[in-house]
């Protein structure tokens, strides 16, 4: 059964990702780091199975990119190439409901 609070949290996280992605004051590497943090509070167990799987598919793609770079610090994100940073941001933007 779907949990309204979980869906509200998912929607709030998606709005935060959009806010971060559009913030012109942030460098690309900072955006790539922060968009992932925006989804840490979503209660996945409250989402329908198809929505959990959508999120998991995107996380799997994020992990493929991160495995290439193995970032452990903010400085590690600064050394990632622009294409991968943009791809990370795009994957988190696509993770939201209705995307």
List the pLDDT tens digit at each of the 99 positions of the chain.
569 999 999 999 999 999 999 999 999 999 999 998 999 989 899 999 999 999 999 999 999 999 998 888 878 888 999 999 999 999 999 999 986
Model confidence, pTM: 0.90
Q: Is 99 part of any domain?
A: no
pLDDT value for 37: 92
Q: Is 77 part of any domain?
A: yes
As for how many domains the chain has, the answer is 1
Quickly count helices (H) and strands (E) in the chain.
5, 0
Rounded-to-10 torsion of CA 59, 69, 86, 89: 30
Q: Is 55 part of any domain?
A: yes
pLDDT value for 1: 53
pLDDT value for 30: 94
């Amino acid at each position: 059964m779907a949990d309204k609070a979980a869906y509200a949290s998912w929607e709030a996280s998606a709005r935060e990702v959009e806010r971060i992605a559009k913030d012109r004051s942030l460098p690309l590497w900072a955006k790539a780091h922060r968009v992932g943090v925006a989804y840490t509070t979503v209660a996945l167990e409250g989402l329908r199975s198809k929505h959990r799987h959508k999120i998991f598919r995107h996380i799997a793609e994020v992990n493929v990119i991160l495995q290439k770079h193995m970032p452990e610090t903010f400085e590690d994100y600064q050394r990632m190439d622009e294409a991968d940073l943009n791809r990370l941001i795009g994957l988190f933007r696509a993770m939201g409901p209705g995307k």
